[in-house]
Amino acid sequence: MINNTITSPKGFLASGISCGIKTSGKKDIALLCCPAGAVAAGVFTTNKIVSAAVEAAKAHLKSRIIEAVIVNSGNANTCTGKKGLEDASKMCQAVADFIDCRPEQVLVASTGIIGRKLPMDKILPGISAAAQELSNDPVGGFDFASAIMTTDTVEKQAVKRFKLGNKTVTISGTVKGAGMIAPNMATTICVLTTDANISKPMLKKALKESIGNSLNKLTVDGHQSTNDTAFLLSSCMAGNTPIKSAGRDYEKFSRGLFEICYDLAEQMALDAEGATRVFKVLITGAANQAQAQKAARAVADYDLVKCAIHGGDPNWGRIICAVGSCGVKINPEKLTCKLDNITVFRNGAPCKFDTKKASAVISKPFHTITVGLGVGKAEDFCLGCDLSKEYVTINADYHT
């Protein structure tokens, strides 16, 4: 069996089990270990309210070597005060005891319902059970991916193998997230592994760039979680010449990491809460990249656009409205809009187009909306999804 999970790079073991946090009985404890030690980097939510797990993980990332990642789903451990911090520390200590390392060499993440204290009477035995199930085969990696899920309907995984010199390097990742996805230098819960021999500073640089150009370009509902976390761990066991600075090997590694992250972002969009369609908003002709990104996100987040796409309605007026109201510089006389290759608005005026063909375009599982602002040369994009009745149903029932 080909291993396309987070245990595919050399040096990693993983597991996922159910300890009873979720009343459904589904897996809710995920454990990843690198027995030989890994260099690690992370990015997090910029929400001012954060999980105790985020606070603990930020502190532990200062360690030179990381040996494990412990994740629980079903409970966010957010707004839980001093007890929440104590419980996050206990989770790290429990893992450290089983794999014989220091607790600060363990990273922790939590996801789920906000405002409830962790059921430590279930989690601590769960960590023990997960430690005993650790393996480097596809089953362990798949179980890890399953155990970090909340409202997701499918596991999301990606892997890439390529050569650095004459050595094969592997990058793999898994992510959970189907709602509250509008991150800034982070995304829900994402765990990435690699065996590339790379220094911690360059690993951190690659992660920040890759997340920023992929997962950070995804919005489901315009809301950011309190728990957004992305980790990248490298066992450095591939045997390639160490990557210590920018250059050809770093660029190749960074490109591979970006492709993994972009793949995961598309999988998240396809599995967004209640989503039936995914779309890409490409903004061109902007004054600068920041304005291009602002306009792209404004369209992708605009509820009326999302509803129109769900209904297969090529309502370009809502797209133009979203761009015009978001505060970026535009030239109304040069403003254009296309749905895939169908131009529906050109130089500030509507075009004649086949409504049925346009409707067929936006009814596809994936299409691109291109808007030209007519003021510069900068461009950027954002991934979004339609807004369905199912989204309302899921989020109305989530807490109870």
Question: Quick one: average pLDDT of 314-329?
Answer: 95
Q: Which residues are catalytic?
A: 187
Q: Can you give the pLDDT at residue 186? A: 54
Q: How far is CA 308 from CA 179, 272, 277, 367, in A?
A: 19, 17, 11, 13
pLDDT at 181 over 80: no
What H or E segment, with its residue span, contains residue 221? none
Burial of residue 174 (CB within 10 Å: 0-12, 13-18, 19+) is buried
pLDDT at 9 over 80: yes
Structural domains of the chain sorted by starting position, each given as residue range(s) with its CATH number in brackets: 13-271 (3.60.70.12), 278-397 (3.10.20.340)
Q: What is the separation of C-alpha 126 from the centre of its chain, rounded to a whole number of angstroms? A: 25
Instruction: Give the rounded percent of residues in the chain with a pLDDT score beyond 90.
Output: 79
Confidence grade of residue 400 (pLDDT, cut at 50, 70, 90): very low
Burial of residue 221 (CB within 10 Å: 0-12, 13-18, 19+) is buried
In tens, the pLDDT along 71-96 reads 999 999 999 999 999 999 999 999 99
Token pair 């130089």 is at which residue?
A: 347
Q: Can you give the pLDDT at residue 22? A: 94
> What is the torsion angle, in degrees rounded to the nearest 10, for the CA atoms of residue 14, residue 19, residue 23 and residue 25?
60
Q: Mean pLDDT of all residues in the chain?
A: 92
In tens, the pLDDT along 284-294 reads 999 999 999 99
- Comparing CA positions, the residue from 92, 120, 90, 119 lying closest to residue 107 is 92
